[in-house]
Structure 1
Amino acid sequence: MTPVDHKEVGKLMETYFKGLHQADSAILRDVFHPQLAYVCATEGDELYLDLETYMARVDGREPPARRGEQRAEEVLEVAFASDRLACVSARMTMMGRDFHDLLTLVRHGAEWRIVAKVFSYVPGKD
């Protein structure tokens, strides 16, 4: 893929991490596809949500930023399958948990959007 694609996905991921840290659904809507599939794959806590249900959950949580949590995240891998399909593996720590996200991105118009967020978590280390 082009350097522009890499830059766009990097910017999307920065917005994604910011939106999660601030628990701001308006920010997150800028990165998610309207047909988002949200899947928690943690054993015993499996969950399958659509965009609106997930955004309501985000709106109902206390933002990690307000609790004084420092941002702790990284993009582990970005893989482009075509000019319209990419996958991102990322890790983050927030709300007392270490998360591993596998994000599927598609072109939505002229922009990259997350169409599937599949993740698991373990309790964070103190």
Structure 2
Amino acid sequence: MPEPRAAIERVVRDYLEGMIYGNPGQIEAAMHPKCMQAGHFNGVYEFLDRAEFIASLQAEAPAPPGTPIDSEILSVDITGDVALVKLRDACFGTSFTDCLTLIHHEGRWQIVMKAFYDHANDG
């Protein structure tokens, strides 16, 4: 497994670009087909699989490709073929903290679980 951190960061970039620019193919490349995500968005609890997540993005206006993405990887913890990424990102009128679990399988990293916190829920 050469340079896992760089490969993980590419997966995170594909996830962000796919979500923010409205490119389902990038999300599909970044997330395992059985990936699940959970969190509160706009005060509503979501528990979605990858297909439901992609469909939910249809309600959001995508940013034009090339628009700067406001994000920061806060931490990456790698143990063997498992990685945990904590990410701050802003999109869809709010900011999020995403906790991503990735697994290296069949020669590549993929997001298999996502829990997120919508900072619009602060306060």
Residue of structure 1 in register with 2:116 after alignment? 119
- Provide the C-alpha distance between the structure 2 equivalents of 1:108 and 1:37, rounded to a whole number of angstroms: 17
Coordinate RMSD, CA, aligned: 2.3
Q: 1:71 aligns with which of 69, 72, 82?
A: 69
| Seq. identity, % | 25
Q: 2:82 aligns with which of 82, 85, 92?
A: 85
Q: Which amino acid aligns with 1:110?
A: G
Give the gaps of 5 or more residues in structure 1.
none
Cα deviation 1:54-105 (Å, max 9, x = unaligned): 1111234210x14x964200100000122x1110000011111110000000
Give the gaps of 5 or more residues in structure 2.
none
Could you list the runs of 4 or more consecutive aligned residues of structure 1 that deviate by over 6 angstroms after TM superposition? Answer: none
- TM-score under structure 1 length normalisation: 0.84
Q: Secondary structure at the match of 2:75?
A: strand
Mapped contact 2:60–2:92 kept (Cα < 8 A) = no
Q: Which amino acid aligns with 1:29?
A: E
Q: Which amino acid aligns with 1:33?
A: H
Which residues in structure 2 correspond to 1:28-47 (within 5 Å)?
28-41=27-40, 44-47=43-46
